Amino acid sequence: MYGRVVILEHQGIAITDAHGASDDQLAELDAMVGCRLPGSFREFWLVAAGGTVEYLVRGEAHDGNHSFSWILPGDRDATENIFETLTRWRRVDGFPQSYLPVAVSGGGSCLFLDVESGTVVASIRRSPSLETRWVRLADDFASYLQQLTPDREALLEHLEHDCFEAGDVDELEAWLEVAIPDWRAEPELSQAVERARRQVADE
């Protein structure tokens, strides 16, 4: 389930199960990319590293909505971390060396920050062909964060299928309070929470 909810107060973004990053890890990342990373990314990654962000962002020119829910951690002991992911991508022929991987999706797509231009782009892997294409998402990382919108479909699925005890529903409500403060005024969301409460009460 969602676990511990971590809030970026200045953005109102709900982040779950985040380990965060250390100043030493951030300094190592600066050294690896060869420059000081933008402040908006630094603030976000220090809190969100290793966490889940159940949000969507719209791609360019009607490309559709995308989700990059898992923020790469700075812990080198993690199975997948930002340092090893960057090293692996840099071995790919033609890969822009200024691109820093930030987050990944379950389908193999990846979010990048261009440390030279500041823009945010993504490699989108589409099923069933597994064809990969590049999409520009934002002019800078701060703009990317502002474009994020809660993934309501994922939330409704969690409420329907992943609530087994009252604490699970409590955690989802805590997430809603951050991500969609007026959720009680939305029938679809409020009714889904009520159904989840009844379901765990009956089990």
- Ordered per-residue pLDDT tens for the chain, 203 residues: 555 456 665 678 999 888 899 999 999 999 999 999 999 999 999 999 999 999 998 766 446 688 899 999 999 999 899 999 999 999 998 999 999 999 998 778 999 999 999 999 999 876 555 667 888 999 999 999 999 999 999 999 999 999 999 989 998 998 999 999 999 999 999 999 999 999 999 86
For residues 145 and 11, give the distance between their C-alpha atoms in angstroms, rounded to a whole number.
Answer: 8
Domain boundary among 107, 124, 149: 149
Beta bridge partners of 121: 112, 136
- Residue (of 72, 66, 26, 32) closest to 49 by Cα position: 72
| Same-domain status, 158 and 107 | no
| Same-domain status, 73 and 122 | yes
For residues 55 and 137, give the distance between their C-alpha atoms in angstroms, rounded to a whole number.
Answer: 14
Q: What pLDDT does 19 receive? A: 87
Tally the domains of the chain.
2
Domain boundary among 124, 149, 174: 149
Helices and strands per DSSP (H, E), number in the chain: 7, 10
Pull the structure tokens for residue 136. Answer: 């520009």
Query: Taking the CB of residue 36, how many other CB atoms lie within 10 A of it?
Result: 13
Contacts of 61 (CB under 8 A, 6+ apart): none
Pull the structure tokens for residue 142. Answer: 């701060």
Q: What pLDDT does 106 receive? A: 77
| Same-domain status, 181 and 108 | no
Pull the structure tokens for residue 150. Answer: 């809660």
Q: Tell me the backbone φ, ψ of residue 56, rounded to 5 degrees.
A: -115, 155
| Same-domain status, 126 and 163 | no
For residues 67 and 167, give the distance between their C-alpha atoms in angstroms, rounded to a whole number.
Answer: 26
Q: Is the preceding peptide bond at 96 cis, omega within 30 degrees of 0?
A: no
Range of the domain at 98: 5-149
Q: Residue 197 is which amino acid?
A: R
| Same-domain status, 165 and 126 | no
| Same-domain status, 130 and 94 | yes
Q: What pLDDT does 47 receive? A: 92
| Same-domain status, 75 and 117 | yes
Beta bridge partners of 71: 103
